[in-house]
């Protein structure tokens, strides 16, 4: 049975898509069956892995009910993906029925036994799409930069997560906060870290011990629609993502949520 992880932060530019892609690629490399769902109308994750977004069914078609979930899965060198496109931006107005918060949860049910991990890349806004991701997820990973604006974004997630846990998904947990573009020599980074620890404590979670260092490798690989493990396998950033994936796996194995493949 798949573990479902939503990667989220209401602030854009914090490495949300890179985190989803990085974790997905590394988990697949370690032998796990991985499905990523691009729930962002901007479709950056879909572009990064060269998924088809116009002539192939997307997550919009799945949640609308016009395509079966497994028929929308595309296989890429990085991982399996259900892509997105701009049509997803109309969901807020289009889906107004009762229990609309459970649309994604019901949609991914056919995939739960096909995969070990399902990763959801959420939009940078607290919309009905984000609520659907939280309702469907077992856990949340929050990427952020070591700056005050990212910190504010993390803090503002608290109320949405609390509401979803209370109304729709009482088992939802925050697995941790991941620091991206990390520079341990920066004074600002050290100052923000102290506050981030307090925020993590308020959210009843932690900051992952592995931080993702600064580097342009991921952006370059995404621009070339290439797997970053093939693009620059020896780079510090790639090594960091691999260690981060190992940290996630170790926690899941210790909690009994995943078995080693």
Which domains, ranges and CATH numbers included, belong to the chain?
Answer: 3-251 (3.40.50.300)
Task: Answer whether 47's CB lies under 8 Å from 190's CB.
Answer: no
Check pLDDT > 80 for residue 115: yes
Average pLDDT over residues 167-195: 83
Q: What is the pLDDT of residue 43?
A: 95
Average pLDDT over residues 158-186: 88
Residue 251: enclosing H or E segment and its boundaries?
A: helix 236-255
Q: What is the pLDDT of residue 108?
A: 96
Check pLDDT > 90 for residue 254: no
In 3-state terms, what secondary structure has residue 37? strand
Average pLDDT over residues 9-24: 89
Q: 261 pLDDT band (50/70/90 cuts)?
A: very low
- If one compares 244 and 99, the residue with the highest pLDDT of the two is 244
Check pLDDT > 80 for residue 103: yes
Q: Is the pTM of this model over 0.85?
A: yes
Dihedral of CA atoms 158, 161, 163, 164 in degrees, nearest 10, equals 180
Q: What is the pLDDT of residue 260?
A: 45
Average pLDDT over residues 187-200: 76
- If one compares 183 and 20, the residue with the highest pLDDT of the two is 20
pLDDT, mean over the chain: 89
Q: Work out whether the CA dihedral 161, 201, 211, 253 comes out positive or negative.
A: negative
What does the pLDDT look like over 121-138, one tens digit per residue? 999 877 899 999 999 999
What does the pLDDT look like over 26-74, one tens digit per residue? 999 999 999 999 999 999 999 999 999 999 999 999 999 999 999 999 9
Q: What is the pLDDT of residue 224?
A: 83
Mention every residue, 6+ apart, whose C-beta is less than 8 A from residue 256. Answer: none
Q: What is the pLDDT of residue 218?
A: 76
Q: 187 pLDDT band (50/70/90 cuts)?
A: low
Check pLDDT > 60 for residue 147: yes
- Look at residues 216, 221, 217, 222 and name the one whose alpha carbon lies nearest to residue 47: 222
User: What is the C-alpha separation between 15 and 43, in angstroms, rounded?
Assistant: 14
Check pLDDT > 50 for residue 85: yes
Q: Is 5 exposed, middle or buried (0-12, 13-18, 19+ CB in 10 A)?
A: buried
């Amino acid at each position: 049975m798949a573990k479902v992880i939503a990667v989220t932060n209401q602030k854009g530019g914090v490495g949300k898509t890179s985190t989803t892609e990085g974790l997905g690629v590394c988990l697949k490399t370690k032998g796990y069956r991985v499905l990523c769902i691009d729930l962002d109308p901007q479709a950056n994750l879909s572009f990064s892995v060269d998924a088809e977004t116009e002539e192939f069914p997307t997550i919009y078609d799945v949640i609308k009910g016009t395509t079966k979930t497994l028929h929308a899965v595309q296989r890429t060198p990085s991982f399996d993906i259900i892509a997105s496109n701009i049509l997803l931006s109309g969901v807020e107005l289009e889906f107004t029925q009762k229990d609309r918060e459970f649309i994604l949860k019901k949609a991914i049910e056919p995939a739960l036994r096909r995969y070990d991990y399902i990763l959801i890349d959420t939009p940078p806004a607290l919309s009905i799409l984000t609520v659907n991701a939280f309702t469907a997820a077992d856990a949340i990973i929050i990427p952020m930069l070591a700056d005050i604006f990212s910190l504010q974004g993390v803090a503002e997630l608290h109320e949405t997560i609390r509401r979803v846990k209370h109304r729709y998904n009482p088992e939802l947990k925050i697995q941790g906060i991941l620091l991206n573009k990390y520079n341990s020599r920066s004074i600002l980074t050290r100052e923000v870290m102290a506050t981030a620890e307090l925020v993590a404590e308020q959210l009843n979670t932690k900051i992952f011990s592995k931080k993702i260092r600064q580097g342009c490798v991921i952006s370059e690989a995404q621009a070339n629609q290439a797997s970053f493990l093939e693009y620059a396998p020896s780079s510090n950033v790639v090594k960091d993502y691999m260690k981060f994936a190992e940290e996630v796996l170790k926690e899941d194995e210790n909690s009994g949520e995943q078995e080693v493949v």
